[in-house]
Amino acid sequence: MPILHPALPYAPWTRPAGRRLPGIMPLARADWVFVDAAYAPQMTERARLLAEHPGEVIGLLPEAEAAARELLREVLRDLPAHGFSVSGDAVRCPDGRAVTLDPDRPLWTLGHLLQADFCLLQKPEGSPEHILTGAVLCFPSHWTLAEKLGRPMMRIHRPVARYDTQMGARVQRMFDLMRPEQPLWRANLLHYDDPTLFQPRSERTQGSVNHGGAYIRSERQCLLKLARSGAVVFSIHTAVIHRSGLSPDEAAALREIEDAAQGSTQPRV
């Protein structure tokens, strides 16, 4: 049974400014954590994936262990403002579940608390780029954690044609200049024939997901720099909706984007 949103909880691509890459916008610190109408069914699916596919959805290099624990502390601090109750070593979630905190498995714990996936990016001394050093990735959009873990940003984005050297330099400069008190965000727009949330795919597989499918998949992608470790957190909150569920403004914007990109196989937003 597909897990669909009744409405898109975010759609910056309805405005021309939100369609330009990389489309990064400032975000209030209090809005970094996000819970929406699909929380309960998405969390049920995350629990299943964490139990049945732990090796596919969690990866953590030794050098990222401290950053992962710091990330968990940051999230726990923010949860009460979003309908969670944090008490001792347990969290009561908006869907009624009680999650026992495991500081030795911070990414596993995060995977049971929030809908978003979390990636940790760190810049080793002497490296020109940030490297993916850890992640909980239950809802991949046609990529696999195993192929990206331990890789620098340019290598991670090799299959993405529009992520060229110039784009990579802009993103790296943004990472270098980020401040912990100022998160950033963007949202993408993808077309899928299959609404399944867990869609890993090897980068050796050819083809594009942007081909006019019946479902719209949009990721709320946030960036937060951790104050102690300096790691950059990339969170990915996924919403899937049938095209018929778009609002009139969203449907009109989608038609404009599709008309402008007609004949292109490259990601549009």
pLDDT tens, residue by residue, 83-110: 999 998 999 999 999 999 999 999 999 9
Q: Residue 265 pLDDT more than 80?
A: no
Assess whether the previous peptide bond of 62 is cis (omega < 30° from 0). no
Distance (Å, rounded) from C-alpha 253 to C-alpha 260?
11
* Nearest CA-CA partner of 49 in 142, 176, 138, 162: 138
End-to-end CA distance of the chain: 27
Output the pLDDT for position 207: 56
pLDDT tens digit sequence for 154-212: 888 776 656 667 877 888 899 999 999 999 999 999 999 999 999 999 987 755 555 56
Across 118-133, b (16+ Cβ under 10 Å) vs e yields: bbbbbbeeeeebbbbb
pLDDT tens digit sequence for 110-152: 999 999 999 999 999 999 999 999 999 999 999 999 999 999 9
CA–chain centroid gap for 233, Å, is 10
Output the pLDDT for position 211: 53
Output the pLDDT for position 162: 67
